[in-house]
Structure 1
Amino acid sequence: MAESARALDVIDTRPAFTAADVAALNARFLDVPAPELLRTLLAGELSGRAALVSSFGAESAVLLHMVSEIDRDIPLIFTNTQKMFGETLAYRDELAERLGFTDLRVYRPDPRLLSERDATGLRWSYDPDGCCDIRKVEPLKRALRDFDVWISGRKGFQAGTRTALPLFELDEADAAVSGPKLKINPLASWPKEALNAYFDTHKLLHHPLEAQGYPSIGCSPCTSRVAQGEDHRAGRWRGWEKVECGIHQPINPGDEPAF
């Protein structure tokens, strides 16, 4: 799919989200099931303001299915780092087609940045943070500039740095350019068993690499198989003191917003 440069039809002049807004939303939706939370917001006060971001990883189909039941026209953003598994790209196309999404937007690294900072394509091998910044963080910032709300598929069980993950966060990564954004994590409290049950109930298509020992799937050079008993994300950047790509920041117990 080609990258979309289409701007929103209506300029949003509403005030940017604040920490107080985030605290109020976390309190309001504390015990609300994820499908109801999404339907309430996407069909209500956040209609037309949000984008759905997906890695099309091992568990992505759950959130994608939930949103497809509410709004198949929502902009669906995927960042193709140009280091992805071929299986991920094929899975993306088949799953998006099956679920009926009409606006899949694929963003790629800026070729000028690649030429300047990763001409050999090997930056991942000596500077994975810098590689992620060029290939993931920058393209997503570009993709989200037309939106003030985005939906993420992160779950608290996935890693120790996600155990305190809240339903709502304030994302200020690109605040100087496009203002603070509201980030929604509808599946923050879902355990793996609940995700598995949802897959079974709705007969969702699994990522082909999951059965081969990849419970968390990123770029091919930086993703390895995970042994039984290892952390869910142990196969990501194995051998490096790195736990997130830079799109998301680690949230440790005590760091979560109070409400």
Structure 2
Amino acid sequence: MPLDDLADHRNALHRDSDALAVLRAALNDTQIGPVALVSSFGAESVVLLHLAAQIDTAVPVIFLDTEMLFPESLAYQRDVAKALGLSDVRIITPDRNAILREDVDGLLHQADTDACCDLRKARPLEQALQGFGGWITGRKQFQNGQRASLPLFEPDGARIKINPLAHWSSDDLRAYMTDHSLPRHPLVAQGYPSIGCMPCTTRVGAGEDPRAGRWRGSEKTECGIHFENGRMVREGKAA
């Protein structure tokens, strides 16, 4: 079945399903094949990770260590994986030879943020996803204009992308974390409601959009870990 048709069929099938049901179906869908969960272990990531752990603590979890993350993020990744009993967390780093060729001084982000994200996130993720028929993300419709029509299932190059939390609100996320006593990312309390790499993440002020601290001062709103025909696609700011 073509991936467009497969995604459409799954969206129709699960239009009334909750996130746990969507996750369980995706992890056991023989037409999609093996599925990995990709997590930044960021401000809201623990919700999706907790849901997945309810189904299978051995679900493959891909964590992209760009080598520019906050130390708090690295510690939080270890703490959450241990607390949830996740047994197959795959820590992916950029290709060493590519770093030496393209960003030996670690300053590429100052000249070209897209190129930096491609080097440190998009390419390593594409390599890590080899052999998987689908991948699970924590994206939600409320996060910015480009995600407003985000479906539960969508074709993504040669794979299916699954977004179990697409319809969740920020209130839903906070309530779930409270109800299940889940550990919070330590940087959230310090004014970072959306957390990426250190050089490209700043604190967010009162009344600002939660993602205002990501690539502040530029039109960039996404890291670009989305693929069409094997190429990174940058999602720009909504009109």
Q: Following TM superposition, by how much is the alpha carbon of 1:136 offset from its aligned partner in structure 2, in angstroms?
A: 0.3
Structure 1 residues 215-247: Cα deviation after superposition (integer angstroms, max 9, x where no partner): 110000000011122122111000111111110
Partner of 1:99: 84
RMSD over aligned CA atoms reads: 1.7
Q: In structure 2, how many angstroms separate the alpha carbons of the residues matched to 1:83 and 1:184?
A: 27
Q: Does 1:190 align with 2:178?
A: no
Query: Shift in Å at residue 45 of structure 1?
Result: 3.7
The Cα shift of 1:41 comes to 3.1
1:53 lines up with 2:38 in the alignment: yes
Moved more, 32-41 or 131-140: 32-41
- Aligned equivalent of 1:159: 144
Residue 218 in 1 paired to residue 203 in 2?
no
Contact 1:155/1:185, CA 8 A, preserved across alignment: yes
Q: Is the 8 A contact 1:155 1:165 kept in 2?
A: yes
Residue equivalent to 1:136: 121
Q: Distance in 1 between matches of 2:75 and 2:32?
A: 30
Task: Select the residue among 66, 77, 85 that pairs with 2:70.
Answer: 85
Q: CA offsets per residue over residues 123-162 of structure 1, 9 Å max, x none?
A: 1111000000000001000100020111000111112221
Map 1:64-79 → 2, pairs under 5 A: 64-79=49-64
* Cα distance in 2, alignment partners of residues 126 and 252 from structure 1: 20
Distance (Å, rounded) in 1 between the aligned partners of 2:47 and 2:190: 20
Q: CA deviation at 1:39?
A: 1.9
| CA drift at 1:250 | 3.2
Structure 2 residue 216 is the aligned partner of structure 1 residue 238: yes
Indicate whether 1:122 and 2:100 are aligned: no
The structure 1 residue matched to 2:95, chosen from 110, 113, 121, is: 110
Residue of 21, 36, 39 corresponding to 2:21: 36
* In structure 2, distance between residues paired with 1:47 and 1:182: 7
Q: Are 2:32 and 2:160, in contact at CA under 8 Å, matched by a contact in 1?
A: no
Partner residue in 1 for 2:132: 147
- Secondary structure (helix, strand or coil) at the match of 1:189 reads coil
Q: Counterpart of 1:23 in structure 2: which amino acid? A: D
Aligned-residue sequence identity (percent) comes to 50
CA contact (8 A) 1:87 1:209 kept: yes
Aligned residues between the structures: 231
Q: Is the 8 A contact 1:56 1:88 kept in 2?
A: yes
> How far apart, in 2, do the equivalents of 1:252 and 1:163 lie?
12
Aligned partners of 1:251 and 1:123: how far apart in 2? 20
Contact 1:171 1:182 in 2 (8 A): yes
Distance 1:121 1:46 in 2: 41
TM-score (norm 1): 0.85
Instruction: For 1:88 and 1:158, locate their aligned partners in 2 and report how far apart those are by CA, in whole Å.
Output: 20
Asked if 1 retains the 8 angstrom alpha-carbon contact of 2:193 and 2:211, the reply is yes
Structure 1 runs not aligned, ≥5 long: 1-14, 173-179, 254-259
Q: Distance in 2 between matches of 1:47 and 1:246?
A: 23
| Partner residue of 1:227 out of 205, 208, 217 | 205
Moved more, 126-135 or 229-238: 229-238
Inter-partner Cα distance in structure 2 for 1:167 and 1:30: 8
Distance in 2, Cα, partners of 1:151 & 1:81: 19
Report if aligned partners of 2:193, 2:204 keep a CA contact under 8 Å in 1.
yes
Cα offset, 1:188, TM superposition: 0.6
Query: For 1:209 and 1:160, how far apart are their aligned partners in 2?
Result: 25
Q: Look up the equivalent residue of 2:162 and give its one-letter code.
A: I
